[in-house]
Amino acid sequence: MANELGLTEILVDVLGDIGYNIVVIAAHIIRNSNVVDAIDHWLKETLFPIPHSNTTSQKCSKIFESLKTSTRTKFFKEWITKSSFGKHVYYDLTSVSTYSDEITESEDGYSRDGEDLAQLNIGMFCDKEYGIPLFYELYNGSINDKTNLPYVLQNAKLLWINDIDIIVGVGFWSPESFKMMDEISTLFTIGISLYHKEARKARANNTQIASDIKYGLESYNITGTFTETTIHNVCGKIALY
């Protein structure tokens, strides 16, 4: 699969022969859980269709240590540029809890798993059509979604991901988020709290929503309408249904 996607070629182009080892290590992790212990024993029983030097758990540690931010960025740029996937990209952020004291990004924060542990956040761009990861980044566990948004958009620009349409929840609501999304995206959609003054005003002025199917979902018997508004100096529309 790595060969067919062109992944192996790009890894070797960026990392040299270490690129082959990366594919081997990834295959071992997928097959045997998220550890690299005893990888050399596994390799004795496994045939790989790519060349690779002898890989041990100690060598894996040295390889991981050698992967600097600049190296990863170079890989991601080549991967995104040369990979012929679809036109639409999804982004999501998740948190991973850890007992480790050695991970610099791990901090106390909002745990999506409800665990009383330090955590780090992982953000990932993913191709919509094929579900293939395009880029990931680690963030401090204490950073919330709306604080993280500028990093996301900066990474998108750095990686030549252009013509962005953004769809985010109400948790991203802030004047800074509005300004940045308006500057970078071609279109953005954000949830609005029912208690926001503009939402209350829109509801008060549209007590009878027109049954225009152009703005509705016929199969669900839902109709809606739009009302013009300006929030945080950004002109747009509130959708009511």
DSSP-derived secondary structure letter, 172: G
Q: What is the mean pLDDT of each run of 10 residues along the chain (241 residues)?
A: 90 92 91 82 84 81 89 89 73 83 80 81 84 85 75 72 78 85 85 89 76 66 83 90 81
Q: What CA–CA distance (Å, rounded) separates 33 from 7?
A: 21
DSSP letters spanning 189-213: EE---TTSHHHHHHHHH-SS----G
Continuous H helices in 108-196? 145-158, 175-184
Residue 172, classified by CB atoms within 10 Å of its CB into exposed (0-12), middle (13-18) or buried (19+), is buried
Q: Where are the domains positioned within the chain?
A: 1-84, 86-143, 155-191, 196-240
Token pair, residue 18, equals: 């270490």
pLDDT tens for residues 85-107?
Answer: 666 778 887 888 888 888 878 88
Q: What pLDDT was estimated at residue 90?
A: 80
Whole-structure pTM value: 0.71
